Chain A
Amino acid sequence: MIRLEHVTKSFHGRRAVDAVSLTMHPGEIFGIVGPDGAGKTTVMRLIAGLLRADKGNITVLGSQNIENVKDSLGYVPQKFSLYGDLTVLENIRVVGALYGRSDADLMHKATEVLAFTKLLPFAHRLADHLSGGMKQKLALAAGLMHQPKLFLLDEPTTGVDPVSRREFWQMLYQLNHTGTTIVVSTPYMDEAELCSRIAFMHSGRVVACASPRELTASYPYKLVEVQTTDRRVKSCLTGLVRDVNVFGDKLHLSLEDAASVLPAIRERLMAAGFGNIPLREVPPTLEDIFVAMAGEVG
């Protein structure tokens, strides 16, 4: 469906995307995951043909020339890119017509798409007057007007409240069930778990690409969760653990081997006066894995 081969893109001499090779298959929900500035948007724009790669090949839907496949490609930019001075309905009708839909067809499809995104009650509201989450739904709706086979969404849920995010993902799943291939970028690990495959990006490079299950299975260390945020815990454990990371109100200790080190950890904590803090071994989450990988690549 999409194939990137050694794709490189620099801005002012800085590599935003560095020799990226990726393959996305039909029917997937493919996630491009990474922190701010990792190069997610740049990859999305390269795929959508909005930027030209400095090096490498990009094949989308079997074609190297994006103009040939634009009819089958939907794209929702990270930044809201519809017209604030047009209403919801006007916006999606204009986009639909830009994809060549006939007038009769337009109204029918627009109603369907607005119903799907639950925007029907707001059809006549100016886009400028929508909340952030509704704007993203509108962008999604606009992208659906031509029923694309391949749908690219760049950080569609950044800055959107948790309820709307969940709704948004439900819509993506529904679309995926009806046969749309989805490529979505996100900085959120909980969303990464929802993808069928993910590529983890860090400073322009893909450091891992696999399904969430494969990634968690490949984690070579043991994890112990400590129910504290006290920073002194970290210093009193030096030498025993490979790494300590803060996860909300907990600490995750990454260990070479839990069975042998755990008693020593308890001893140290006891000695330092943290004896009553609960410890337990937990399976790794994607976040643990990405933190570990980001640490390895610097």
Chain B
Amino acid sequence: MRRLRALLLKEFIQMKRDRLTFAMMVGLPIIQLLVFGFAINTDVKHLSTVVFDQSLQQESRDLLGAFTASEYFDIKYTARSYQEVADIIEQGKAKVGIIIPPDFSDSIKHSRSAAVQVIVDASDSMAASSAISTAQLIGQLKSEEILVKKLQAAGAQKPARPYDIRIRPWYNPDLVSAFYMVPGILGIILTMTMVMITSMAIVRERERGTLEQLIVTPLKSYELMLGKIIPYIFVGYIQATLALAVGIVVFDLPMQGSLALLYGLTTLFIVASLALGILISTVTRTQMQAMQLSFFIFLPSILLSGFMFPREAMPDFFRMIGYLLPLTYYLEIMRGIVLKGVGVSFLWTQILALCVFITVMLTVSILKFQKRLV
């Protein structure tokens, strides 16, 4: 116990003296959250749009008005030829082109189908798919509106819709991607800093030669590991708190579930990440190797945990790899608590998985670490 306390004291003094690293550990979550939160905005609205209106009648203005009102399309350019539309899209000034034929009003008045062409730059698939579905929806609604007007003019009653499918997105009703992203980014930030810091912890002592003095003392391997883990749990707490605060203040993140549960399970995840870092630190011999191995962990964490892509859509093999990453479970926990407000009874599998992960990582590290040089 005295030995562990001595080690903790040493780690805290060193942390305090190393202002730059500490500032980075604190500043990083805020900056990353702001950058990611604003940049990775998956709701694509306000697409720059070019219009070539050859009809210039009440009807065409009406249709364009519907496009603008949807907020998905910002009409920024008016073209005077088909070629001009193509050029503007080609130059990337606009993502969407709307072309209204000269006989547009006539067609509507004479009950012929009026063909409106919508060109979408599909190189950005996310923007393209939301533009396409919105344009289709606007087309349908507008057609329906005109049909109803005509039927009414012909003396019919306003007909009831044969189908009425209403989609209600639960948990994140406005489909705000920041809500989905913030818990994920918090997980990514914690993974990166926690794994990185502890992966350096033991190799750094090895490289500087201070391990030589440490291992001639009666210090036990597990005490060394604990001494390297415990101080960074606090750093993890600070990061998590800052990230959540930014999420709530800047992105209006709703906090549905219990904050206590959130912190409790965040501790579990922090310890899991630290344990992974410790393992890296015991199997590597230089800080460079440790850094490379940490990066080797980050990539699957970002790609396979469900942070970027839905895990349901992954091939089995990659989904299985995802099960080996603590972040996978933490994302489920976070989204569950923050967005759905679920309680601990829904999260047992994830909690168990993290506990198993921690036990395995620490046991392997302690067995693997020899109180020897070379």
A98: min CB distance to chain B, Å? 4
| Closest-CB distance, A15 to chain B (whole angstroms) | 15
Least CB separation from B217: chain A residue:
A98
Is the Cβ of A82 less than 8 Å from the Cβ of B373?
A: no
A4 to B: closest C-beta gap in Å: 17
Contact of A98 among B3, B209, B373, B374 (CB under 8 A): B3
Tell me, in angstroms, the Cα distance from A21 to B188 when the chains sit together. Answer: 56
One of A71-79, A218-226, A258-266 contacting the partner: A71-79
7 contacts between A and B (CB under 8 A): A49-B371, A86-B14, A90-B10, A95-B217, A97-B3, A98-B3, A102-B2
By the criterion CB–CB under 8 Å, are A98 and B212 in contact? no
On whether the beta carbons of A83 and B2 are closer than 8 Å, the reply is no
0/1 interface trace, chain B 267-299, chain A, CB 8 Å (1 if under): 000000000000000000000000000000000
Within 8 A of A (CB), among B198-213: 208-213
Interface of B is mostly: helix
Chain A residues positioned under 8 Å from B2 (CB to CB)? 97, 100-102
Is there contact, CB below 8 Å, between A48 and B216? yes
Contact among A71, A93, A142 with B218 in the assembled complex (CB-CB below 8 Å): A71
- Closest Cβ of chain A to B366, distance in Å, is 15
Provide the residues of chain B in CB contact with A71, threshold 8 Å: 218
Beyond the given A81-B212, A85-B13, A98-B3, could you list 15 further A-B residue pairs with CB under 8 A, ordered by the A residue number? Answer: A50-B215, A50-B372, A51-B372, A70-B218, A71-B218, A80-B209, A81-B209, A86-B10, A94-B7, A94-B9, A94-B10, A97-B2, A98-B217, A98-B219, A142-B213
Is B109's CB within 8 Å of the partner chain A?
A: no
How far does the alpha carbon of A90 sit from the alpha carbon of B7 in the complex, in Å? Answer: 11
Once bound together, how far apart are the Cα atoms of A102 and B374, in whole Å? 32
Report the separation of the CA atoms of residues A51 and B6 in the bound assembly, to the nearest whole angstrom. 25
Q: For the complex, is B17 an interface residue (Cβ under 8 Å from A)?
A: yes
Q: Specify which of B5, B10, B218 is in contact with A99 (CB 8 Å cutoff).
A: B218
Given contacts A97-B2, A98-B3, A100-B2, contact A49 B210 (CB under 8 A): no
Number of interface residues of B (CB under 8 A): 27
Determine whether the beta carbon of B218 is less than 8 Å from that of A67.
yes
Cβ–Cβ < 8 Å partners of B18 in chain A = 85
Cβ contact within 8 Å between A70 and B217: yes
Report which of B6, B14, B218, B373 forms a contact with A50, defined as CB distance below 8 A: B373
Q: Shortest 4 CB-CB distances between A and B: which pairs?
A: A97-B6, A81-B213, A98-B217, A75-B216
- Would you give the shortest CB distance from A275 to chain B, in whole angstroms? 56
Q: Does B63 contact A (CB under 8 A)?
A: no
Q: Interface size for chain A: under 10, 10 to 19, 20 to 34, or 35 or more residues?
A: 20 to 34
Which of B5, B7, B17, B218: most chain A Cβ within 10 A?
A: B218
Q: Check: B214 CB closer than 8 A to any chain A CB.
A: yes
Docked CA distance A67–B6 (Å) = 19
From A11, A71, A80, A81, name the one whose CB has the most chain B CB atoms within 10 angstroms. A81
Q: Please tell me if the beta carbons of B9 and A98 are within 8 angstroms of each other in the complex.
A: no
A250 at the interface (CB under 8 A from B): no
A→B interface (CB under 8 Å): 11, 45, 48-52, 67, 70-71, 73, 75, 77, 79-83, 85-86, 90, 93-102, 142
Of listed B2, B14, B216, residue having the most chain A CB within 10 A: B216
The answer to whether A98 and B214 have CB atoms under 8 Å apart is yes
For A102, list chain B residues within 8 Å (CB): 2
- A81 CB contact (under 8 Å) in B3, B14, B210, B374: B210
The answer for the CA separation of A94 and B13 in the assembled complex, in Å, is 11
Complex Cα gap A96–B213 (Å): 12
Q: Is B212's CB under 8 angstroms from A79's CB?
A: yes
Q: How far is the CB of B83 from chain A (nearest CB, A)?
A: 68
Give the distance in Å from the alpha carbon of A49 to the alpha carbon of B370 in the complex.
Answer: 11
- Find chain B residues with CB under 8 A from A142 CB: 213
Residues on the A chain within 8 Å of B217, using CB: 70, 95, 98-99
Which residue in chain A gives the minimum CB-CB distance to B211?
A81
Specify which of B6, B209, B373 is in contact with A94 (CB 8 Å cutoff): B6
A70–B214 CA distance with the chains assembled, in angstroms: 12
Known: A79-B209, A81-B209, A90-B13. A52 touches B218 (CB 8 A): no
The docked-state distance in angstroms from the alpha carbon of A70 to that of B17 is 31
| CB pair A98 B372 closer than 8 Å | no
Q: Which residues of B, 336-374, contact A by the 8 Å Cβ criterion?
A: 371-374
**Complex contacts, A99 vs chain B, CB 8 Å:** 217-218
From B6, B13, B216, B372, A70 is in contact (CB under 8 Å) with: B216
Residue of B whose beta carbon sits closest to that of A74: B216
CB of B328, distance to nearest CB on chain A (Å): 37
CA distance A96 to B2 in the complex (A): 10
Residues of chain A lying within 8 A (CB to CB) of residue B208:
81
Specify which chain B residues have a CB less than 8 angstroms from the CB of A70 in the assembled complex.
216-218
Q: What residues of chain B lie closer than 8 Å to A81, measured between beta carbons?
A: 208-213
- Give Cα distance in the complex from A90 to B10, angstroms: 8
Shortest Cβ distance from residue A71 to the other chain B in the assembled complex, whole angstroms: 6
Report the separation of the CA atoms of residues A10 and B209 in the bound assembly, to the nearest whole angstrom.
21
Least CB separation from A77: chain B residue? B212
A110 to chain B: closest CB distance in Å? 13
CA distance A85 to B16 in the complex (A): 10
Within 8 A of A (CB), among B10-63: 10, 13-14, 17-18
Q: Report Cα–Cα, A45/B211, bound state, in Å.
A: 13
Give bound CA distance, A6 to B2, whole Å. 38
Return B73 CB to nearest CB of chain A, in Å.
58
Say yes or no: A82-B210 contact (C-beta < 8 A), given A49-B371, A94-B10, A98-B7.
Answer: yes
Residues in A neighbouring B216, C-beta threshold 8 A? 48-50, 70, 73, 75
Chain A nearest CB, measured from B283 CB (Å): 18
Chain B residue contacts of A97, Cβ below 8 A: 2-3, 5-6, 9
* A73 proximity list for chain B (CB < 8 A): 216
Residues in A with CB closer than 8 Å to B17 are 85
